[in-house]
Chain A
Amino acid sequence: AQSVTQLDSQVPVFEEAPVELRCNYSSSVSVYLFWYVQYPNQGLQLLLKYLSGSTLVESINGFEAEFNKSQTSFHLRKPSVHISDTAEYFCAVSLRGGSNYKLTFGKGTLLTVNP
Chain B
Amino acid sequence: DVKVTQSSRYLVKRTGEKVFLECVQDMDHENMFWYRQDPGLGLRLIYFSYDVKMKEKGDIPEGYSVSREKKERFSLILESASTNQTSMYLCASSLEGPSYEQYFGPGTRLTVT
| B and A form one assembly | yes
- Majority DSSP secondary structure for residues of A touching B: loop
Q: Given A51-B99, A90-B43, A102–B90 Cβ distance below 8 Å?
A: no
Contact residues on B (Cβ < 8 Å of other chain), bracket? 20 to 34
| B74 interface residue per 8 A CB criterion | no
The number of residue pairs between A and B whose CB atoms lie closer than 8 Å in the complex comes to 59
With A100-B56, A101-B31, A107-B42 given, is the CB distance from A44 to B99 under 8 Å?
A: no
Q: Which residue of A lies closest to B90 (CB)?
A: A43
Q: Give B29 Cβ to nearest chain A Cβ, in Å.
A: 11
Within 8 A of A (CB), among B48-85: 48, 50, 56, 58
Selected A-B contacts with CB under 8 Å, 17 pairs = A32-B98, A34-B101, A41-B106, A44-B43, A44-B92, A45-B103, A46-B101, A49-B99, A94-B98, A96-B98, A96-B99, A100-B56, A100-B98, A101-B48, A101-B97, A107-B40, A107-B42
Interface residues of B (CB under 8 A from A): 4, 31, 33, 40-45, 48, 50, 56, 58, 90, 92, 94, 96-99, 101-107
